[in-house]
Amino acid sequence: MVDLHTYVPMIDAILSASNPDEVTPKRIRKALQELFGINLDTHRKEVNQLIIQRFEESKQRPRYLITKEELRRKDEALASKLQTAAKRAKSSKSSSVKKKKKRSNNDANSNPNALNLRKVMISEPLSGFLGETSLPRTQIVKLVWDYIKDHNLQNPDDRREILCDDRMKPIFGEKMTMFTLNKILSKYLSNSEEIGVKKSPSSPEDKLNFPEASEATE
């Protein structure tokens, strides 16, 4: 059974860096799926309810003006928490795989959530940027975010926006957001059995509003 609270730190991170008038449960859910390489479709209602709950709680928290240096330290602390949470999730899944070693190969092929443990192929120019040709999806996202943090590429006036440097521009363009990051990365990633298979385009995301109760079932 999926422990949805494992993803609370990432939900809070996305909410804290997003425009409340634009962010939606559906967009956050899709970002979680791409970031962790999991399939949350069967838990859509519960995930949306959790996102709405975190959104409502965030509005109750007092807001303070802080310096850019304090914001940078908070970002680093949050990144460390997210990395720890990801490692715990990975460790838990690894233990489960060891206990079911005889069925591991079949499970990896049939279980969508195994994607965050399985390596994917990385095509150019992303492979040149990372210096790797295959990595787990979660590790790819982490390396890109580490690069963004190390080179201070977040827009100081809008932390949701990443201002790409010369190394990143051939892959990500002039600028991007945390939502478009995962979408762009997916263009350069493929499972070995997917090579040569053209992916069908995804449908446009629907606009949702947090106050509406109907979101919990979208």
Q: How far apart are CA 87 and CA 138, in angstroms?
A: 10
Task: Compare 199 and 26 and report the one with higher pLDDT.
Answer: 26
Q: Which domains, from first to last, does the chain contain?
A: 1-104 (no CATH), 118-190 (1.10.245.10)
Q: What is the DSSP letter of 125?
A: T
pTM (2 decimals)? 0.45
58-76 pLDDT, tens digit per residue, is 777 655 545 556 656 666 6
Beta-bridge partner residues of 136: 119
* Amino acid occupying residue 135: L
Sheet-wide strand order for 154-155: 154-155, 158-163, 175-177
**Closest by alpha carbon to 171, among 186, 191, 192, 152?**
186
* Main-chain phi, psi angles of 124, to 5 degrees: -70, 150
Q: How many residues does the structure list for the chain? A: 218
* Amino acid occupying residue 86: A
Do strands 189-190 and 175-177 pair parallel, antiparallel, or not at all (unpaired)? unpaired
166-197 pLDDT, tens digit per residue, is 999 999 999 998 778 888 988 998 875 544 44
